[in-house]
Chains A and B, each alone.
Chain A
Amino acid sequence: MTVTASPSAPAAAKSKPLSTLLYRYRWVRLVGLLSLPLTWLIGLYIVSLALLLVTAFWFIDPFTSKVIPGFTLDNFVLVFSEPAYVTTALRTLGIALAVTLLSAAFAIPLGIFMAKLASPWLRAVLAVAITLPLWAGYLVKILAMRITFTEEGFFNWVMAPFGITGPGFSLFTVVLTLTYLWFPYMALPVYTAIRQIPVNLFDASADLGARGATTIRTVVLPLLWPALLAGSVFTFSLSLGDYIVARFVGGANAQMIGSIIASNINLNPPVAAAFSVIPIAFVVIYLVVTRRTGALERM
């Protein structure tokens, strides 16, 4: 057993004054650690968000179209009273939920296969296949879906002999495209979580009489809740905020909240800001609901 020199020993103080200072004063260490991230978080992140919220209470001069600081609730009244806006908000919510459910429905069986059945080689291939689209640009992927589902596109061409016509540019295609975009964010946490479920829990479940589907429902799903929630935060909130997909593969009737914000961003910034509050509210409600289910405390 060796006796280590006390850090306040004069020899140490002479050789490494900065280290000694950092060692002695806790607050110096904290400042060193947090100054940069806090500047970022408060200075840019929160302040800009707060400014957005404040703008929602301003109004524009009807003649000059200039934004005038003040306080009015008219923007919010407009957002909640204009039927087109309300339908769009609800449609966006529906799309985001559909994307989340679809991603989960794909991710769970795929994850079980990858984590528990696939050979290491196949597992690696699948992992690359899932993450590969992340390397392609966002617009590239939307374009790919556009080419697939356009009138004379691949889907219709392949399905024509069977007398099937594709969905074209529609709400359905928007959901598909968004699922395509955000699927990796669901698949990866789900796969990781399934890998962490000990194999013998599957064995034990079968041993006690459960078939595959029962095991998935009673053992795998409950253990996956945290991962599904983590994944769904991405699929849900990213879908809520998107509008490019709706513009390029959505056709005429698939406007989303983002579409309205985008069209108002120059025309009427206060209305755009008021509308931005809606997805934020949706996400907050979503988090509160998931918290209520108790799923977050389980892990």
Chain B
Amino acid sequence: MSAPTAPTEPVPTEPAPTDSGSATPSRDTAADTAASSSERGQGGVELHAVTKRFGETVAVDDLTLSVESGEFFSMLGPSGSGKTTVLRLIAGFEEVTSGSIEIAGTDVTRAAPFDRTVNTVFQDYALFPHMTIADNVAYGLRVRKVSKAEQKERVAAALEQVRLSHVADRLPHQLSGGQRQRIALARALILQPRVLLLDEPLGALDKQLREQMQIELKQIQREVGITFIFVTHDQEEALTLSDRIAVFNNGRVEQVGTPREVYEYPQTGFVAGFLGISNLIDAGHAERLTGVAKAISVRPERVRLMDARTEPATHETCVDGTIVETVYTGPTTRYIVDTVDGLRVIAERHNDHAPSDTAPYHRGDAVRAVWVTEHAAVVP
């Protein structure tokens, strides 16, 4: 079993709710005439063989990536994997060492940030501390010499959109983290960019607020219908929000796909390990278990534990071992099982038993870990 057969989720390319009448999703990207321009290609981002070096270190290594117009695209990876650098390259804060970048069909490789039709929500919001919230939100319009009356109107609308009209006259330091985050969003969206870049915008918020903001972000993205490129190191956040995810490691993209694709069918060991917990079984062990000498990855939630004497069904794979640790996480309990031939398998079980009961297995129990053979993804 391999990834291509995976049920791919349709990439939502919901057209932006603009007044453009064209309904045919033609694929030409040149959007010089607004009337004939299609919805697709209006906010797509293409990176061709982009490399970025800082002195000796290669931050981004020969990266080719294509972001569809209107999609929520996440760049996921550990710190130092190059995802933020890619965002800064798209925004224009850094210049590529080689390669080219296209936004909405226009080559912007050498364009200054102020000449690009993208806007950014910064990690620590980067609100101007000496300006009121209204002035912060109006900044882009002010710089573009938009009339005072229009500024006022659009600022009011933008603040309305993030439900913060009442803080217009305050200074940034008088706002809470979540409020600042929403103002940063309003400030970027007021310019109606084709692409919104978000650099770990929820990183500084606590968990509850973060989850609430995730929903809000998703709603706003659906409302404005533009491309969101979202940088995060939080795999759960990426899975929750994205239409597609690019998993970064060491300046390269390991895999691009829908959340389901990258989670269920990791193409590399790194992806399997970075997104959630994974039982990565090397080719040698896999051959002994299944007869096929290919590394496989099984998610803990697909591994069942049973009594060592129970015979597995024919379509199942099993290993015997001893529970060395149990981890209670609230909704689930994780069992760490060391097998006789030196494997470590993690099984996760929903705590669907009565709350007063303890888990059915304990440390030191001899168990058999079983999974449906087909549920293991081959890691090429």
Query: In this assembly, does B140 line the interface, its C-beta being within 8 Å of a C-beta of chain A?
Result: yes
Q: Which stretch, A9-17, A56-64, A197-205, A271-279, touches the partner chain B?
A: A197-205
CB distance from B140 to the nearest CB of A (A): 4
Find out whether the CB atom of B143 lies under 8 angstroms from the CB atom of A209.
yes
Query: In this assembly, does B139 line the interface, its C-beta being within 8 Å of a C-beta of chain A?
Result: yes
Main DSSP-derived SS at the A contact region? helix
For residues 108 through 144 of chain B, which have their beta carbon under 8 Å from a beta carbon of chain A?
112-114, 118-120, 122-124, 126-131, 139-140, 142-144
Residue of B nearest to A210 (CB): B143
* Residues of the A chain whose Cβ atoms lie less than 8 Å from the Cβ of B118: 207
Query: In this assembly, does A219 line the interface, its C-beta being within 8 Å of a C-beta of chain B?
Result: yes
Binary contact readout A196-233 vs B (1 if CB under 8 angstroms, 0 otherwise): 00101101111111110010001100110000000000
Find out whether the CB atom of A206 lies under 8 angstroms from the CB atom of B122.
no
Query: In this assembly, does A292 line the interface, its C-beta being within 8 Å of a C-beta of chain B?
Result: no
A206 to B144, CA, bound (A): 12
Query: In this assembly, does A26 line the interface, its C-beta being within 8 Å of a C-beta of chain B?
Result: no
Q: Say whether, besides A208-B143, A223-B129, A203 and B114 are in contact (CB < 8 Å).
A: no
Number of A-B contacts (CB under 8 A): 63
Query: In this assembly, does B91 line the interface, its C-beta being within 8 Å of a C-beta of chain A?
Result: yes
Query: In this assembly, does B201 line the interface, its C-beta being within 8 Å of a C-beta of chain A?
Result: no
* Residues of the B chain whose Cβ atoms lie less than 8 Å from the Cβ of A223: 129-130
Query: In this assembly, does B92 line the interface, its C-beta being within 8 Å of a C-beta of chain A?
Result: yes
A74 to B323, CA, bound (A): 102
- The 8 Å CB contact of A203, one of B120, B131, B143, B144, is B120
Find out whether the CB atom of A200 lies under 8 angstroms from the CB atom of B124.
yes
Find out whether the CB atom of A206 lies under 8 angstroms from the CB atom of B113.
yes
* Residues of the A chain whose Cβ atoms lie less than 8 Å from the Cβ of B120: 203-204, 207
Residue of B nearest to A203 (CB): B93
A222 to B126, CA, bound (A): 15
* Residues of the B chain whose Cβ atoms lie less than 8 Å from the Cβ of A208: 114, 119, 139-140, 143, 187-188, 191
- The 8 Å CB contact of B128, one of A207, A209, A219, A298, is A219
Find out whether the CB atom of B130 lies under 8 angstroms from the CB atom of A200.
no
A253 to B128, CA, bound (A): 47
Find out whether the CB atom of A206 lies under 8 angstroms from the CB atom of B124.
no
CB distance from A22 to the nearest CB of B (A): 38
Q: Say whether, besides A208-B140, A208-B191, A198 and B114 are in contact (CB < 8 Å).
A: no
CB distance from B199 to the nearest CB of A (A): 9
A203 to B126, CA, bound (A): 9
- The 8 Å CB contact of B113, one of A198, A203, A218, A219, is A203
For residues 100 through 120 of chain A, which have their beta carbon under 8 Å from a beta carbon of chain B?
none
**Could you pull out 5 A-B pairs where Cβ atoms are within 8 angstroms?**
A204-B120, A208-B114, A208-B187, A208-B191, A211-B112
